[in-house]
Structure 1
Amino acid sequence: MYPQRTGLILWVSDLKQTKHLEKFGTIHYVSKRMNYVVLYMNAEKAEETTKAIQKLSFVKKIERSYRNEIRTEYNSNVPDKAKLYT
């Protein structure tokens, strides 16, 4: 079905060259103020792609996004107070 995706946060020194990052994956967000780019790519090729991106001269640092590892299903043992007022 859909391939597993992973996100990378790329800290860059120059935003003019962020167009070159499109060949590595999908650019999701570019912060002009803090000079970083959020890039999504296939998880299978993430290691090879990270090594290739690190060699680019305008990339300062690469961080992995932990969005896939955050728990999104919540359970609450506290009773709902809205039901008390109805």
Structure 2
Amino acid sequence: MYVWVYSLKWRKKLQRYGTIYYTSPKMKYVMLYVNSEKISEVRKELISKNYVKRVALAHRKELDEHFVLKSKNTEEED
């Protein structure tokens, strides 16, 4: 879950909702891990906070995690 805030001083308050993996000082967002069972209730609660600009869910579950590596021989044949 990505949470955009007005100021990063609110980062400590976000720790109570989940685990913080990354903070971007320039873009003022926090990447927050939340258990899948709690996502909807945490999202509703965060949206209601004054210090939160926007909340977006990560698309990791939609990505295909099985990658196929091409060898150099197959690249030359194409």
Q: TM-score, normalised by structure 2?
A: 0.85
Task: Please tell me the residue identity of whatever aligns with 1:59.
Answer: V
Structure 1, unaligned runs of 5 or more: 1-7
1:53 pairs with 2:34 = no
For residues 28-51 of structure 1, the C-alpha deviation after alignment (integer angstroms, 9 at most, x for no partner) is: 100000100000011011101111
SS in 2 for 1:23: coil
**Which has more strand, going by share of residues?**
1
1:33 and 1:10 map into 2 onto residues whose CA distance is 14
1:25 pairs with 2:15 = no
Structure 2, unaligned runs of 5 or more: none
Task: Please tell me the residue identity of whatever aligns with 1:51.
Answer: K
SS in 1 for 2:50: coil
**After TM superposition, where is structure 1 displaced by more than 4 Å over at least 4 residues in a row?**
none
Pick one of 10, 23, 27 that aligns with 1:34.
27
The percentage of counterpart residues that share the same residue type is: 34
Task: Please tell me the residue identity of whatever aligns with 1:81.
Answer: N
SS in 2 for 1:50: helix
